[in-house]
Chains A and B, each alone.
Chain A
């Protein structure tokens, strides 16, 4: 069974850093494009960023509000993806989901989603 499990969410002070993880099972994570999507409390979904598969170069892209503050990396030995967040702001408070991107080119979508991990930025 293909599964994603996020972990590492925590309470962090503004300006702080946090790394959340997305562990994959049932498939090899570096063979897929993976996106991070967040959802602020009581709000809608917001695309955060994505990493391409290893075969497609493994490059990353981010939404404007997090560009330069967030990075995505992989640990192939653990079949796990990481979202490293720095210079955190209160508006980064959200549940963070990872999802397998599937579909042709820019017409892709989130096929399988993890259960999410809550990141709270507050003093």
Chain B
């Protein structure tokens, strides 16, 4: 059982918009600690996608965006590409556990 809750899967056709939610609590996202997002392509290591709720590292396509409000956060992809098919994880800090916490991951399928 992950501290942050994500839907197990989402899907969409190429070019469509999809969002992935991440729900936490008052000891993490609501504290308020930042949320960060990672993309994990099949068989690869995680890669930072969004930091500090909404900041895209250099090289990340601008079709990816992040937002956060209260104890919830979202990752949006505004124009799905076949290469976006991957697992996505949210991450924050939890003041009770005093560790990083992750969501269980969401598998994005491009139809």
Contact = CB atoms under 8 A, between A and B. Distances in A.
Contacts of A114: 45
Given A44-B2, A47-B99, A110 B48 contact: yes
B91 A107 contact: no
A37 B57 CA distance: 20
Contacts of B103: 44
Nearest to B28: A106
Contacts of B91: 45, 109-110
A111 B60 CA distance: 13
Classify chain B: how many residues form its interface, as a range. 20 to 34
A103 to B, nearest CB: 6
Contacts of A37: 46, 100
Interface of A: 35, 37, 44-47, 61, 63-64, 97, 99, 102-103, 106-116
Interface of B: 2, 33-34, 36, 38, 44-48, 51-52, 57, 89, 91, 93, 95, 97-105
